[in-house]
Amino acid sequence: MLRLGRREFDTHEPVIMAIVNRTPDSFYDQGATFRDEPALARVEQAVAEGAAIIDIGGVKAGPGEEVTAEEEARRTVGFVAEVRRRFPDVVISVDTWRAEVGAAVCEAGADLLNDAWGGVDPGLAEVAARYGVGLVCTHAGGAEPRTRPHRVAYDDVMADILRVTVGLAERALELGVPRESILIDPGHDFGKNTRHSLEATRRLGEMVSTGWPVLVSLSNKDFVGETLDKPVKERVVGTLATTAVSAWLGAQVYRVHEVAETRQVLDMVASIAGHRAPAVARRGLA
């Protein structure tokens, strides 16, 4: 059982986490949800299309202009409070690596801290424990926040992913983060080249076998683009193919831009796997 905020999710229940970037320079939407009203409209649409989690980020993942903790908080804290007011049952996640920002958004109503940079600030897990919220434990290959990998190498990339993510999850549990609210994430593209991310996907079942719920953040990433030689705006099909494989292998939470399309893929895979009944089953029965 995965428990986040007011929501509980069964083991085989796929969960969509919709991305809402409060940044003017995000790689995919290029600032479309930087202002409040477009961002709130995005939340409303995502919830209507089947997202259970809204992931709010105040700093783009890649290199760019410096964003201080104060500016990151300015972009996220008030917005978290407004989403909490308008959507009391939605799970609110905040993508941050900074403990001080994590504490501020938890005060505003966040349910989950999405630590995409692999525990670079150990205090973030302590914040999650103090507020009783969830935590995403990610493998980033030891990379510093907002840096790109350069000639990174692993003897066994999945072995390293397991060592880091399970270690972070166990530390979070020892600190007092609720076990049912801890997730692990292989960190596609973070501290990895394209071949590493493909191997992490191929071996995702090894993460699932640890017993920790697995979150994947695949949406329109560079490993998809390089695999198919497609620019950012032409990666949806590759993303959905990777989503289907990840779902078959047992990942549970999917951080995405395209909510409606992802919902259909996840429902189809769940029905093939026998975890979900068809919405309609009239064929051959009339």
Encode pLDDT of 210-254 as tens digits: 999 999 999 999 999 999 999 999 999 999 999 999 999 999 999
Query: Does a structural domain hold residue 9?
Result: yes
Kindly give the pairing relationship between strand 215-217 and strand 53-57: unpaired
Query: Does a structural domain hold residue 279?
Result: no
| Orientation angle between helical segments 99-108 and 69-86, nearest 10 degrees | 20
List the CATH number of the domain containing 258.
3.20.20.20
The string of pLDDT tens digits covering residues 2-27 is: 999 999 999 999 999 999 999 987 87
**CA dist 76 to 10, 59, 133, 138, 196, Å?**
29, 10, 17, 21, 32
- Which among 118, 189, 187 is positioned nearest to 148, based on CA atoms? 189
Domain count of the fold of the chain? 1
Catalytic residues: 221, 255
pLDDT score, position 25 = 79
Its domain, for residue 158, covers: 2-273
Query: Does a structural domain hold residue 228?
Result: yes
pLDDT score, position 286 = 75
The string of pLDDT tens digits covering residues 140-195 is: 999 999 999 999 999 999 999 999 999 999 999 999 999 999 999 999 999 999 99
Query: Does a structural domain hold residue 158?
Result: yes
Query: Does a structural domain hold residue 58?
Result: yes
The model's pTM = 0.96
How far is the C-alpha of 111 from the C-alpha of 3, rounded, in Å?
A: 10
Query: Does a structural domain hold residue 281?
Result: no
